[in-house]
Amino acid sequence: MRRSWLLSIVCSAVCCLLLDPATAQESAHPVPKAGEFPPPNTGTYLAGELVIIDPVNRRGGLRLDGNEPHDRYHSGPLHYFAMLPYGMLSFNGAPAELRDIPLGTHVHGYFYLPPVGEEATIPPLPKDMERYEIKQNHAVSLEDDFSFYQRRGQSWKVVSIDSKKGKIHVAPAGQMAQDGINTPSTFDIDDLTKVWKGHTLVELTDIAPDQIVQFNLGWSPGWRDREFTVSELWLDDESRKFATDLQRRRHVKYQKQRWLPGWIDSVEDNDYGGGIITLTLFGGMDPSLYAELKATQDKGFGVAVAEKSLRTWFHRSDKKIGQVIEWKESENPPSGSSGIQVRMKFTELLDGYRPGRVVRVKCHDWLFVTMPSEERVKTMEEQQRSTLFRLP
Amino acid sequence: MVTDRHALEDVRETWPMTTGGTMFVMRLSLWALLFAVNTEANAADGVAGFDQSVLPFIETHCLRCHNAQKQEGKFRLDTLPREFVVQATAQRWAEVVFRLNSGEMPPTKEPQPKPQELGAVVDWLSTRIQEGEAARMAQRGPVSHYRLSREEYGHTVYDLLGVYFDVNLPGAFNEDPRWHGFDRIGSLLTLSPSHVDRYFRAAETVLERAFPDQEPTSQKTRREASAGQGLVGPVRWPLWPGHGQHLVTASMPGLYRIRIRLSALPSFKGRLPHLALWHHQLKRSIVGLDVDAPEDKPTVIEIETFLPEGQFNVMNESPGMLADGQTPSVSQSPFVNTTDSRSNQPTAYRLFNDAGQSIFPLLIVDWVETEGPILPASDQKKRAGLIPAQADDLKAARESLNRFVTLAWRRPVTDADLNRYIQLIESEVAAGETFRSAYRAAMVAVLSSKNFYYLEEGSPSLRRDTVNDWELASRLSYFLWSSMPDDELYGLAQQGTLHRPEVLRAQLTRMLADPKIGRFTESFPRQWLQLHRVGAFPPDASLFPDYDKWLEQSMVQETTGYFGEVFSKNLQLREFLVSDWTMMNPRLAMHYGLPRPEVSSLQRVLLRPEEHRGGLLTQASILSLTSDGTRHRPVHRGVWVSEAVFGRTPPPPPPNVEPLAPTPSDQPKATIRMQLESHATHATCASCHQKIDPLGFAFDNFDAIGRWRTSEQVPGGQGISPPVNASGQLMDGRSYNGSEEFKQLLAQDTDRFAEAFVEQLATYALRRVMTIDDTAQIKAITVASQKEEYKLRTVIENLILSDLFFKR
Can you give chain A as a three-state secondary structure string? Answer: CHHHHHHHHHHHHHHHHHCCHHHHHHHHCCCCCCCCCCCCCCCEEEEEEEEEEECCCCEEEEEECCCCCCCHHHHCCCEEEEEEEEEEEEECCEECCHHHCCCCCEEEEEEECCCCCCCCCCCCCCHHHHHHCCCCCEEEEEEEHHHHHHHCCEEEEEEEEECCCCEEEEEEEECCCCCCCCCCEEEECCCCCEEEECCEEECHHHCCCCCEEEEEEECCCCHHHCCCEEEEEECCHHHHHHHHHHHHHHHHHHHHHHCEEEEEEEEEECCCCCEEEEEEEECCCCHHHHHHHHHCHHHCEEEEEECCCCCECCCCCCEEEEEEEEEEECCCCCCCEEEEEEEEEECCCECCCCCCCEEEEECCCCCCCCCCHHHCCCCHHHHHHHCCCCCC
Class of domain B219-374: mainly beta
At B679, the pLDDT band (50, 70, 90 cuts) reads low
* Mean pLDDT for the stretch of residues A174-179: 95
pLDDT tens, B489-507? 999 999 999 999 999 999 9
The whole-number pLDDT of residue B229 equals: 60
Contact: A271, B359; criterion CB under 8 Å? yes
* Mean pLDDT for the stretch of residues A295-309: 97
Contact: A318, B327; criterion CB under 8 Å? yes
Distance of alpha carbon A130 from alpha carbon A137, whole angstroms = 14
State the best of B316, B350, B357, B547 to mutate against chain A, taking most chain A CBs within 10 Å.
B350
- Contact B326/A at CB under 8 A: yes
Task: Name which of A267, A273, A350 is nearest B319 (Cβ-Cβ).
Answer: A273
B390 has a pLDDT exceeding 50: yes
B141 has a pLDDT exceeding 70: yes
Contact: A350, B359; criterion CB under 8 Å? no
Closest CA–CA distance from residue B266 to any residue of chain A (Å): 10
Contact: A348, B324; criterion CB under 8 Å? yes
- Contact A348/B at CB under 8 A: yes
Look over chain A and give the mean of its residue pLDDT values, rounded to a whole number.
Answer: 92
Contact: B359, A274; criterion CB under 8 Å? no
With beta carbons under 8 A apart, name residues in chain B contacting A305: 346-347
pTM of the predicted protein model: 0.80
With beta carbons under 8 A apart, name residues in chain B contacting A350: 327, 346-350
Closest CA–CA distance from residue B667 to any residue of chain A (Å): 21
With beta carbons under 8 A apart, name residues in chain A contacting B353: 267, 269
* Mean pLDDT for the stretch of residues B292-303: 95
β-pair type (A79-91, A138-144):
parallel
The closest of B566, B633, B635, B574 to B604, measured between CA atoms, is B566
At B115, the pLDDT band (50, 70, 90 cuts) reads confident
The whole-number pLDDT of residue A310 equals: 97
Domains annotated on chain A, with CATH: 2-150 (2.40.50.320), 152-251 (2.40.50.320), 259-386 (2.40.30)
Contact: A272, B349; criterion CB under 8 Å? no
* CA A347 to chain CA centroid, nearest Å: 35
- Contact B359/A at CB under 8 A: yes
Tell the burial category of B773 from Cβ atoms under 10 Å away from its Cβ (0-12, 13-18, 19+): middle
ipTM of the complex model: 0.88
At B323, the pLDDT band (50, 70, 90 cuts) reads confident
Task: Name which of A273, A354, A380 is nearest B545 (Cβ-Cβ).
Answer: A273
The closest of B545, B103, B553, B578 to B320, measured between CA atoms, is B545
* Mean pLDDT for the stretch of residues A69-77: 93
**Contact, B479 vs B804, CB < 8 A?**
no
Percent with pLDDT over 90 in chain B: 58
B394 has a pLDDT exceeding 60: yes
Which letter, b or e, does each residue of B175-190 get, where b requires 16 or more Cβ atoms within 10 Å of its Cβ? ebebbebbbbbbbbbe
At B50, the pLDDT band (50, 70, 90 cuts) reads confident
State the best of A272, A312, A377 to mutate against chain B, taking most chain B CBs within 10 Å.
A272
The whole-number pLDDT of residue B676 equals: 79
Task: Name which of A317, A348, A350 is nearest B321 (Cβ-Cβ).
Answer: A348
Distance of alpha carbon B125 from alpha carbon B127, whole angstroms = 5
With beta carbons under 8 A apart, name residues in chain B contacting A349: 349-350
Q: H/E element holding B256?
A: strand B254-265
Which sequence spans correspond to the domains of chain B?
28-138, 219-374, 531-747, 750-806
At B463, the pLDDT band (50, 70, 90 cuts) reads confident
Instruction: Give me the amino acid identity at B458.
Output: G
Angle CA A370–A371–A377, to nearest 5: 120
